[in-house]
Structure 1
């Protein structure tokens, strides 16, 4: 804490934690979220065939975390849609990304330097949502540590945990891409962040909430910018998980020692291998689709 005081982060962190998210940060969040929706295979065709289904998927990409958190806390899942300004803003972004003439808006926000800025702003919103989720759960369940972690995790993970439901709306069914089975980096980071904010909420972590928000936002933004700029698909947690998981669970993270022998060969022949993670698959598809579209445009 002396280090933080020496750096005079207290006042800055307090100011940062009080910054309004609407409209600038929320706009960036909606742009990046719907941009990832457009990267999904078949999403453009769905938008032409059924704009209503495409719009609903876009709203889930933007507000899925609120919907799922409200369900967990016993509220109406459509409560957040009473925020007309947010829904209108997200709808405008959806229309511009999918239907703007000559794909001008899409090309602008998908331009890497612009995208890096938007990705960083999105992480600001993500961390704020994790903190808010833990705070709201604490009000409803004062000593429900697991509920606080779960709600914060859901708030930060967004539509990732609802991916299979969103796929059904688009007429796609990919149960092998279950986010809980193959967690992406944002989902894992949201889970770890929810634990940290729960510890802080219960006064077991000797740091102020505003400082934790600032530090965790910095951590998330830097990593996401680096991963986006370098098209990296690996998880920064892989090294730590590789050391801890064999000790606690007897196998590496996401792996199974039993698959190293005969069963590995059997599954390789009997069934296609499961994707390493939805995030990796999505990022690869993102870049592939973007490059193919760029070539067609030329």
Structure 2
């Protein structure tokens, strides 16, 4: 009984945990680092900081942009949140332009990167659940739409990677996530399916319990992958 009580308390704690600013900042750091490590991205940052910034925002907010387009909402809505954009822009600047490359060098250290990656995965749960909930409010009986929006909101940065590449003057259609899905895209699709089934009462679990189970699963897997690399 004590174990069940602890599990319930943890699940409620996670459900009520604010993502901004610390968890979201980890998401921005890992996302911008992923962009910086793309071939040619560092060169683009020197030639056109504006293109580099725009690419970084797509990495950070791709899920919100893509899910907004799919729900016929303004794709620029994420840009209306001043504090969020300011924090993401500050992270972009520090990762690409900090003196002596100190910020990137520190965050790229394996122990720090593992922690940041784990924190980023915590935000994935909220994004997937948020997308499923948004879709459910508009299309209550459509499982496919809820799965698609949850998937788009949680893995939008990868799903629109070809468009982001065009911003940097790169065209690689063979890297399309639908043709060859990466681990984050696959695990987000799984989450979208699970939260959709829970939302429509096909999965007999409380939402906060599923949130905790899914978060533990993706964090442990992500940290394990990072640790093994």
Higher relative contact order (CA 8 A, sep 6+): 2
TM-score class, shorter? over 0.9
CA contact (8 A) 1:62 1:158 kept: no
Aligned equivalent of 1:144 = 142
TM-score scaled by length of structure 2: 0.98
Q: Whole-Å Cα distance in 1 between the matches of residues 65 and 170 of structure 2?
A: 21
Aligned equivalent of 1:67 = 65
1:59-117 CA deviation, whole Å, 9 max, x = no partner? Answer: 00000100000000110000111011110000000000000011000011111101111
Task: Provide closer, same or farther for how the CA distance between residues 201 and 4 of structure 1 changes in structure 2, counting only shifts above 3 A.
Answer: farther
Aligned equivalent of 2:116 = 118
Q: Whole-Å Cα distance in 1 between the matches of residues 210 and 3 of structure 2?
A: 14
Q: Show the 5 A alignment for 1:1-298.
A: 6=4, 8-231=6-229
TM-score scaled by length of structure 1: 0.75
Q: Whole-Å Cα distance in 1 between the matches of residues 60 and 144 of structure 2?
A: 25
CA contact (8 A) 2:65 2:156 kept: no
Q: Whole-Å Cα distance in 2 between the matches of residues 142 and 77 of structure 1?
A: 22
Q: Tell which structure's C-alpha radius of gyration is larger.
A: 1
CA RMSD after TM alignment: 1.2
Q: Whole-Å Cα distance in 2 between the matches of residues 34 and 165 of structure 1?
A: 16
Note the C-alpha offset of 1:6.
3.1
Note the C-alpha offset of 1:11.
2.0
Q: Whole-Å Cα distance in 2 between the matches of residues 126 and 9 of structure 1?
A: 20
CA contact (8 A) 2:191 2:214 kept: yes
1:225-274 CA deviation, whole Å, 9 max, x = no partner? Answer: 1111112xxxxxxxxxxxxxxxxxxxxxxxxxxxxxxxxxxxxxxxxxxx
Q: Whole-Å Cα distance in 2 between the matches of residues 120 and 88 of structure 1?
A: 23
Q: Whole-Å Cα distance in 1 between the matches of residues 84 and 212 of structure 2?
A: 24
Q: Whole-Å Cα distance in 2 between the matches of residues 171 and 49 of structure 1?
A: 12
Task: Provide closer, same or farther for how the CA distance between residues 113 and 164 of structure 1 changes in structure 2, counting only shifts above 3 A.
Answer: same
Equivalent residues, number: 229
Structure 2: state its 5+ residue gaps: none
